[in-house]
Chain A
Amino acid sequence: MSAAESANAIQRNQVDLLDFIDWSGVECLNQSSSHSLSNALKQGYREDEGLNLESDADEQLLIYIPFTQVIKLHSIVVMGSEEDGPKTVKLFANREHMGFSNVSDFPPSDTAVLSPDNLKGKPVVLKYVKFQNVRSLTIFIEDNQSGSEITKVQKIALYGSTVETTDMKGLKKIEDH
């Protein structure tokens, strides 16, 4: 399979991973209580431009998203305003319970510097090879476009595909013949 074909194959298979997020384990450090992560992640809220995820004490945000099954992450979309939207975004795969103090302890799986185009909705393609076997994703928003005290994120969307895992719902009892 040539590189171009494989790239196309990947493009065709990517789905919005919203359905595979394990909502009970989703956490966000330094979020403002009135503007929480749901405003950026959840269906409906993330489309609403008036509802944002905002940071609280300073401009950094640390978002932890576990998944219900193993996925491959292809690209992400981060939308926000031109001034307060995020700039440097670091992604860590399969690192549980990170804190602001250990973000610099190990290198991120990928780093994205968002341009104004990205903030309008253009997806950021990630290093696919680094995200082949992802159980949880940590998104570290390091700073924002204008350097202001509060970072505002309107939407975060993840695109990728699932690894072939057993669908428990599809299991059927063997009929006695």
Chain B
Amino acid sequence: MVLEATMICIDNSEWMRNGDYAPSRFQAQADAVNLICGAKTQSNPENTVGVLTMAGKGVRVLVTPTSDLGKILACMHGLEIGGEMNLAAGIQVAQLALKHRQNKKQQQRIIVFAGSPVMHDKKALEMIGKKLKKNSVALDIVNFGEDDGGKTEKLEALLAAVNNNDTSHIVHVPAGPNALSDVLISTPIFTGDGEGGSGFAASAAAAAAGGVSGFEFGVDPNLDPELALALRVSMEEERARQEAAAKQAAEEASKEEKGGEEQDATMTERASEGASEADNKKIEIADDDDTSLQQALAMSMDEPTSSQDLQDTEMSDAAAEDPELALALQLSVQDSTKDSSSQADVSKLLADQSFVSSILASLPGVDPNDPSVKEVLASMQNQSEPQQKQDEDKAPKKEEEK
């Protein structure tokens, strides 16, 4: 919440054409500038931000410190890349622009994007740093792009000369998959000396890398209690859910060790399927799956005789989601229990002409009217005839469940 006037010095030299920072170094800079402007303005509406370019024909102030974001974004368009960066002149012009700020109560800050090699020697940079410190101007340096011998050293020396009570910072951003703006979000350049006060910076930090501010979750409870509370509650919920999932995984692992029966294998398959589905369907369904799965597991541990009820439970779960899956499960389960009646059911199903033909019709490339298919069906029918009457009752019941 510090009242601040900021001048951002952009490097638009030839070195910025390079694409090692997606999409190009210059574009990455522009994105970072936009983000910084937003963050500064949000942390205190009276903050002002100005922009100048350091390369090209010479140092040029694009916009003097203003709180109008639109102006700043507009001036970033149509910038030309070329020439060499003049760091010393850039900083001095920035200092001059800050001196003439409208609101003298604002603290002065300069943010420099140093992408190309630094031509000045260390002494000159230290003199500039001292002058900035004397006039109580803070300096943030973003060291990216070219990294020739001595550049890092020179910039560190500059920072040491300027730094007064840790108000100035330097950030080294190596080329890589992360965008320049994402890396900057978690640095003190954005979060403003570890205040953690800006909601914008805090949420962006949480989204990207995880805030660096002194407070938990990157939000100051004094400044934004609701946000801090919401973040804390959601974190605890997430932790509880993960614990439950971990516990379940442990249970499954122990069940697999004990078991070895196909039945248990099927249960664990079902359970792991349920678990993967839970991952997809987020937290709301997870609880339901947990309870039903745990029920299923508990019952499987008890008596094989009660497996019939279990299978029914399983059927209803499966049937809700996938009828073909239900059929496959039923077949596999019934095979393993060696229940004669259920075995008969299987063959009964196959024997049931209409059901089989409907299945065959759904299969691509199979025509139920094909004579060879009809032959097979006829042979199956003959086999199951003796048991047909016995299982007539069960047939409609199973039909309904499909």
Contacts and interface: CB of A to CB of B under 8 A. Distances in A.
A33 B131 CA distance: 16
Contacts of A96: 104
A38 to B, nearest CB: 16
A117 to B, nearest CB: 30
Interface in A87-107: 96-97, 99-101
Contacts of A100: 134-135
Given A29-B136, A101-B99, A56 B104 contact: no
Contacts of A29: 134-136
A58 interface: yes
B130 to A, nearest CB: 4
B133 interface: yes
Interface string A23-57: 00000011001000000000000000000000011
A29 B133 CA distance: 9
B99 A33 contact: no
Interface string B129-162: 0110111100000000000000000000000000
Interface string B301-341: 00000000000000000000000000000000000000000
Contacts, number: 27
A33 B165 CA distance: 8
B387 interface: no
Contact of A58 (B130, B136, B164): B130
Given A33-B164, A33-B165, A56-B164, A99 B135 contact: yes
B130 A57 contact: yes
A56 B99 contact: no
A99 B101 CA distance: 13
Interface residues of A, number: 12
A57 B54 CA distance: 26
Interface in B66-108: 99, 104
A100 B164 CA distance: 18
Contacts of B134: 29-30, 56-58, 60, 100
Contact of A97 (B104, B131, B164): B104
Contacts of B131: 57
Interface centre among A56, A57, A58 (most CB of B within 10 A): A57
A146 to B, nearest CB: 20
A96 B103 CA distance: 12
B388 to A, nearest CB: 98
B162 to A, nearest CB: 10
Interface in A62-113: 96-97, 99-101
A32 to B, nearest CB: 9
A57 B133 contact: yes
Nearest to A29: B136
Interface string B216-254: 000000000000000000000000000000000000000
A96 B136 CA distance: 16
Contacts of A99: 99, 135
A162 to B, nearest CB: 26
A110 B335 CA distance: 108
A21 to B, nearest CB: 18
Contacts of B135: 29-30, 99-101
Contacts of B165: 33
Q: Which 3 pairs show the lowest CB-CB distances between chains A and B?
A: A97-B104, A57-B134, A57-B130
12 contacts: A29-B135, A30-B134, A30-B136, A33-B164, A33-B165, A56-B134, A57-B130, A57-B131, A57-B133, A58-B134, A99-B99, A100-B135
Interface of B: 99, 104, 130-131, 133-136, 164-165
Given A30-B135, A57-B134, A60-B134, 7 more contacts: A30-B136, A56-B164, A57-B130, A57-B131, A97-B104, A99-B99, A99-B135
